[in-house]
A and B are shown apart, each in its own frame.
Chain A
Amino acid sequence: MNATPIVTVKDLTRDYQQGTITVRALRGVDLDIATGEFTALMGPSGSGKTTLLNMIGGLDEPTSGTVIIDGQDLNSLDRGQRSDLRLHRIGFVFQSYNLIPVLSAVENAEFVLMLRGLPAAERRARAVETLAAVGLAGMENRRPSELSGGQQQRVAVARAIASKPALVLADEPTANLDSKSGHELIATMAKLNEELGLTFVFATHDPKVMNAARRVVWMEDGKVQRDERK
């Protein structure tokens, strides 16, 4: 495994204003994630897992502190540059699948490749291949409404990895799945991590993810409490 950090988080804080009350979602988080790691951010609701994941993905801006992705300090990037960074370096998997309902499975899987401007034939081939890798061969032309929750989340994973990003961020990917589908999805992602060397970071409550992860970062009250490596 390459030990170069793909994610470096330094003294990260994030405050939210709720009326007159300031809510501190992150209180000085320091974290390095190396390329190829399979990391789970664990902790109770409100512990700051999702906030940290959003900061790492450049979806939200910190109140203070730094996030460096693949050598690029996100504070130095404007909105458009952060979009470009996500497009070329980061894949996302969300809790509730969040597929584009008017696109078929294969069109969803190739969406990021389309945004990247890959030729149609190449992106279609890659999307079909990725769908097969997540166990959805033969379901390419189904719309999200014609797929089960587990299948939709697999399409979401395919969409996240089809562009071969440096980093895949997954927020509660198994939360809406039944136990069997959850196991299968984790197994699929673990396989992709091993075979392709993709870096995965999960925000999760799910013990199945924790068991599969090789590193578990425990969070509580916006801080890292424990960092366990297996």
Chain B
Amino acid sequence: MLIFIKLATRNLLRNKRRTAITMTGISLGLALMVFSNNVAFGSHQSMLRTAIGMMAGHVVVQAEGYQHKPDSKLKILDSGAMADAIRAAIPNATVTRRIYMDGLLISPVASTAAVVKAIEPSRERKVIDLDDKIVKGKWLADDDDRGIMLGQDLATRLDVGLGDKVVFMGQPDGTEVESRLFRLRGIFRTGSPEIDGFTALAPLSAAQELFQGDDPATQIAINLPDDKQTAARTKQVRALVQAVAPNSKLEVLPWQQAIPDVVEFVKLDSAYGDGIWLVLGIIVSMGVINTVLMSVMERVREFGVMMALGLKPRKLAAMVLTEGFMMGAISALIGIILGTLITWPFMSMGIDLSGDMGESMEAAGVPLSMILYPEIDWGRLAIYPFIGIFFAVVASLYPAWKVTRLSPVQAIRHQ
């Protein structure tokens, strides 16, 4: 094997310029792949973090069936006691309760359908990441049970300003029509048409008054300091819920099940990116095939001599594959280092696309910032060397196969 490595190394150095051009092609392709994957990974992570904070939690507790068919009648009773028990069990988590209500918001001049998300203001503020998106007014105060915040488009449709009256009207429990007066405390803009046009935030205490039963909530969201804890904490919360409320029909879901649309979007987007890179990999491989084939054709006579000396054709093929392997391995290493170095400054600086594409956009109902912050995808980084080697070795297969078909006599005569 050592002789093959020695021969492969020297053969690669034999035509330094050609080897350098081929390896540069592989390295740059891989560096670009690493960088763009880091950008995609960073925006996916940011999207998931936003979705987890805004739409769920790392772990959520809901009434059984709510995930499948959201209905405000499906609720958790004695939710405060349940949330306290979870806080006691997981002290470093932010545990917050929510009620989601569909209904009408009515101003003195207009009315429109909306979703009111009733929250525990100071706790929700820690997880929802909305502070920098408040364009007018301020965040809700815990003791202000008349306060309401509206998305900017919603406020525009209702034609209301700070301090104006807004009335919610709906059938939260599915029986009586209930209404409640609020005063506008703040207006936010996330960039998501769905959120900005149809979402209002109100205090949980105000929403609870519209429901029957003790201390109701639609959802208890548990936000963890580290996503890696999700699976273990989900298990823990399930056991806890069973212990605290053995007769209640509640479901405990990790975020992957609580926001399936977002998870699916990320998977599809990643798969799409991978598809593009597969095509690029094939194109780069064509270049490698060409180089290896040229290098093989130049050495046909040498191969003939080696066969005459007793080297078996399959060992000759192994030698050609070793060259491809080495070229792939070295190029992959360079590509990964280069891709990571390119990523590095943008991790803190961000890539600002707001000029060309607006200040924000939405995907799967999640508002996305147009300043992308790449993150290093360590999991992927570990498999890139194998990708580089795979494509280089696969590209060497055809030249290697051709070598095995050589007749020693014809090969030695080859000019």
Q: Is the interface of A mostly helix, strand, loop or mixed?
A: helix
Residues of A within 8 A of B313 (CB): 79-80, 83
Chain B residues at the A interface, C-beta cutoff of 8 Å = 3, 6-7, 10-11, 13-14, 301-302, 305-314, 407-409, 412
- Complex contact B310–A100 (CB within 8 A): no
Residues in B neighbouring A139, C-beta threshold 8 A: none
Q: How far is the CB of A190 from chain B (nearest CB, A)?
A: 23
Question: Does A94 touch B at the CB level, under 8 Å?
Answer: yes
> Interface residues, chain A, CB within 8 Å of chain B?
54, 57, 59-60, 79-80, 83-84, 86-88, 90, 92, 94, 98, 100-103, 107, 111-112, 114-116, 159
Taking the closest CB of chain B, its distance from the CB of A165, in whole angstroms, is 10
Once the chains are docked, how many angstroms separate the CA of A140 from the CA of B3? Answer: 17
Report Cα–Cα, A90/B13, bound state, in Å: 31
B312 touching A80, Cβ below 8 Å: yes
Least CB distance, A115 to chain B, in whole angstroms = 6
B408 close to A59 (CB less than 8 A): yes
Contact call B310/A115, Cβ cutoff below 8 A? yes
Bound-state Cα–Cα, A102 to B4, Å: 12
Query: B308: which A residues are within 8 A, CB to CB?
Result: 57, 59, 86, 92, 94
Least CB distance from A154 to B in Å reads 16
Using known A-B contacts A60-B409, A114-B3, determine if residue A98 contacts B310 with beta carbons closer than 8 Å.
no
Contacts of A112 in B (CB 8 A): 309-310
User: Residue on A with the closest CB to B8?
Assistant: A102
A57 to B312, CA, bound (A): 15
Could you say which residues of chain A place their CB within 8 Å of the CB of B7?
A: 100, 102-103
**Alpha-carbon distance A63/B328, docked complex (angstroms):** 44
**Closest beta carbon of chain B to A166's beta carbon, Å:** 13
Provide the residues of chain B in CB contact with A100, threshold 8 Å: 7, 302, 305-306
Name the distance in Å between A98's Cβ and chain B's nearest Cβ. 4
Q: B307 contacts A83, CB within 8 Å?
A: yes
Given contacts A100-B305, A115-B310, could you give 6 more A-B pairs where the C-beta distance is less than 8 Å? Answer: A83-B310, A86-B310, A98-B305, A101-B302, A103-B10, A111-B309
Instruction: Flag if A98 contacts B301 (CB, 8 Å).
Output: yes
Residues from chain A with a CB closer than 8 A to the CB of B13 are 102
Question: Are A159 and B309 in touch, CB under 8 angstroms?
Answer: yes
6 closest A-B pairs by beta carbon, nearest first, are A87-B310, A102-B10, A86-B310, A98-B305, A59-B408, A83-B312
Instruction: Tell me, rounded to whole Å, the shortest Cβ–Cβ distance linking B403 to chain A.
Output: 13
Residues on A with C-beta less than 8 A from B14 are 101-102
Shortest Cβ gap from A85 to chain B (Å): 8
Can you list 7 A-B pairs, Cβ within 8 angstroms, ordered by A?
Answer: A59-B412, A60-B408, A80-B314, A94-B308, A94-B412, A101-B14, A112-B309
Is B412's CB under 8 angstroms from A115's CB?
no
Chain A CB within 10 A, most for which of B14, B311, B408: B408
Residues of A within 8 A of B305 (CB): 92, 94, 98, 100
Determine the distance from Cα of A17 to Cα of B42 in the docked complex, in whole angstroms: 65
Given contacts A100-B302, A102-B14, A114-B3, contact A87 B408 (CB under 8 A): no
**Is A115 a contact of B309 with CB atoms below 8 Å?**
yes
Which residues from chain B contact A79 at a C-beta distance below 8 Å? Answer: 312-313
**Measured between alpha carbons, how far is A177 from B126 in the docked complex, in Å?**
88
Q: Hey, which chain B residues are within 8 Å of A116, CB to CB?
A: 310
User: Measured between alpha carbons, how far is A159 from B307 in the docked complex, in Å?
Assistant: 14
Least distance between B316 CB and chain A CB atoms (Å): 10
A102 to B301, CA, bound (A): 14
CB distance from B405 to the nearest CB of A (A): 11
Contact A83 B10 (CB under 8 A): no
Asked if B309 and A86 make an inter-chain contact with CB atoms under 8 angstroms apart, the answer reads yes
With both beta carbons as reference points, the residue of chain B lying nearest to A116 in the complex is identified as: B310
B114 → A minimal CB distance (Å): 76
Q: In whole angstroms, what is the CA distance A43 to B255 when docked? A: 87
- Complex Cα gap A54–B308 (Å): 9
Contact A59 B409 (CB under 8 A): yes
The answer for the CA separation of A174 and B10 in the assembled complex, in Å, is 29
Across-interface contacts of A54 in B (CB, < 8 A): 409
B265 to chain A, nearest CB (A): 53
CA distance A81 to B307 in the complex (A): 12
- In angstroms, how far is the closest chain B Cβ from the Cβ of A100? 6
CB distance from A61 to the nearest CB of B (A): 9
A90 to B311, CA, bound (A): 12
Given A98-B305, A100-B302, does the pair A84, B409 have CB atoms closer than 8 Å? Answer: no
B312 cross-chain contacts in A, Cβ below 8 A: 79-80, 83-84
- A193–B90 CA distance with the chains assembled, in angstroms: 89
Q: How far is the CB of A14 from chain B (nearest CB, A)?
A: 11
B2 to chain A, nearest CB (A): 8
Q: Which of A84, A101, A102, A103 contacts B310 (CB 8 A)?
A: A84
With a cutoff of 8 Å between Cβ atoms, the chain B residues found around residue A88 in the complex are: 310
A70 to B309 alpha-carbon distance, docked (Å): 17
Closest to B315 in A: A115
**Please, how many angstroms separate the alpha-carbon atoms of A179 and B3 in the complex?**
36
Contact of A115 among B302, B311, B409 (CB under 8 A): B311
A60, A80, A87, A107: the one contacting B309 at CB < 8 Å is: A87
Whole-angstrom distance between the alpha carbons of A59 and B310 in the complex?
A: 10
CA distance A79 to B406 in the complex (A): 11
